[in-house]
Amino acid sequence: MILSATLSLFSGELLAATDSYRWLHVTIDTPWAIFIFLLPMVLAPAILMAILYWRFLGKKPSDANRGNRS
């Protein structure tokens, strides 16, 4: 435990070189690509909610959905 903590103090430069952003090719198109990739994940629940609301609009809940009320 102490040995791993001591080694981690001296390996900072090595880790900084491997985790550097120089390995990523970031251009001006990168934020747009991330936005286009994440947009369907954000909008899909809202679209599904609108479709389900429209589908069940005006329908009364059946007795099976209300539970057993005697």
Please report which confidence band the pLDDT of residue 58 belongs to, taking 50, 70 and 90 as the band edges. Answer: confident
* Mean of the per-residue pLDDT values of the chain: 77
Q: pLDDT tens-digit profile of 19-47?
A: 566 667 778 888 999 999 999 999 999 99
Cα–Cα distances (Å) from 42 to 19, 30, 37, 47, 52, in that order, read 29, 18, 10, 9, 17
The percent of residues above 90 in pLDDT, for the chain, comes to 34
pLDDT recorded at residue 26: 78
Q: Is the overall model pTM greater than 0.75, yes or no? A: no
Q: What is the CA radius of gyration of the chain?
A: 27
The percent of residues above 70 in pLDDT, for the chain, comes to 54
